[in-house]
């Protein structure tokens, strides 16, 4: 049973790597961004709310995000573990997730931090926006989300470092190179067989 969190600035490749880690460990990858985009695409009431928040370059509020994540983690496929991507992203959400996991007698096993310089994140996001036609990835929106990450998400790593569960991995390189570094961390921490 493995419960993980992957953290990194937007454009760090955490979505791509999260899916690969989940495959290695046979657990679901739970990406708040994917859940939100599915709602936006389906034009649900939640999706329309999220769309206006994201279009302004802001992040979805803690209460709404926590509700979505708790609902997803309560599903049967997450009973034996999960990999979270995009949550928790601030200290309020860390407390919310801790409370939820404590109720279930669980805790996070590992936080994988993808280290990527800001300039690299910006370059990747501008490229992705052009390739995928993502309207939420304007240059101003990207810069604002990176600022929010630096202000709000970076402090959660201190909490997890105190618990001794952060593995910082160099996120620059090919997908396979970065995954190889992550795999080595999973093996060294006993989460994956060598």
**d(Cα 2, Cα 109) in Å, to the nearest integer?**
6
Paired with 82 in beta bridges are 3
**d(Cα 106, Cα 79) in Å, to the nearest integer?**
10
Q: What is the mean pLDDT of residues 62-72?
A: 86
Q: What is the mean pLDDT of residues 166-170?
A: 97
pLDDT of residue 153: 86
Length of the chain: 194
**d(Cα 190, Cα 184) in Å, to the nearest integer?**
10
pLDDT cut 70: percent of the chain above it: 99
Confidence of residue 136 (pLDDT cuts 50, 70, 90): low
**d(Cα 16, Cα 61) in Å, to the nearest integer?**
24
**d(Cα 174, Cα 163) in Å, to the nearest integer?**
30
pLDDT at 158 over 80: yes
**d(Cα 154, Cα 40) in Å, to the nearest integer?**
27
Residue 26, exposed/middle/buried by CB under 10 A (0-12, 13-18, 19+)? exposed
**d(Cα 194, Cα 138) in Å, to the nearest integer?**
42
Domain segments of the chain as ranges: 2-187
The tokens describing 189, both together, are 């921490």
Q: Is 167 within 8 Å of 87 (Cβ atoms)?
A: no
Q: What is the pLDDT of residues 103-134, one digit of tens each?
A: 999 999 999 999 998 888 888 888 888 888 77
pLDDT at 67 over 80: yes
For domain 2-187, the CATH class is alpha beta
Q: What is the pLDDT of residues 71-103, one digit of tens each?
A: 889 889 999 999 999 899 899 999 999 999 999
What pTM was computed for the model? 0.84
Give the neighbor-by-neighbor strand order of the sheet with 110-115: 29-31, 81-85, 2-7, 110-115, 166-170
pLDDT of residue 176: 96
Mean pLDDT, the chain, integer: 90
pLDDT at 17 over 90: yes
Instruction: Reduce the DSSP state of residue 70 to 3 states and report it.
Output: helix
């Amino acid at each position: 049973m493995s419960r993980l969190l992957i953290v990194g600035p937007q454009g760090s490749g955490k979505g791509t790597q999260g899916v690969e880690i989940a495959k290695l460990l046979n657990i679901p990858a739970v990406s708040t961004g994917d859940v939100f985009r599915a709602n936006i695409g389906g034009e649900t009431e939640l999706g329309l709310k999220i769309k206006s928040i994201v279009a302004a370059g802001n992040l979805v509020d803690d209460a709404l995000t926590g509700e979505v994540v708790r609902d997803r983690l309560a599903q049967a496929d997450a009973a034996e573990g999960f990999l979270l991507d995009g949550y928790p992203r601030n200290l309020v959400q860390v407390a919310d997730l801790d409370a939820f996991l404590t109720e279930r007698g669980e805790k996070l096993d590992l936080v994988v931090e993808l280290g990527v310089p800001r300039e690299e994140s910006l370059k990747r996001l501008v490229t992705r926006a052009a390739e995928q036609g993502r309207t939420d990835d304007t240059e101003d929106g990207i810069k604002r989300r990176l600022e929010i990450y630096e202000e709000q998400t970076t402090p959660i790593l201190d909490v997890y470092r105190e618990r001794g569960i952060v593995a910082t991995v160099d996120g620059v390189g090919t997908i396979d190179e970065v995954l190889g570094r992550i795999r080595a961390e999973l093996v060294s921490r006993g989460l994956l067989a060598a």
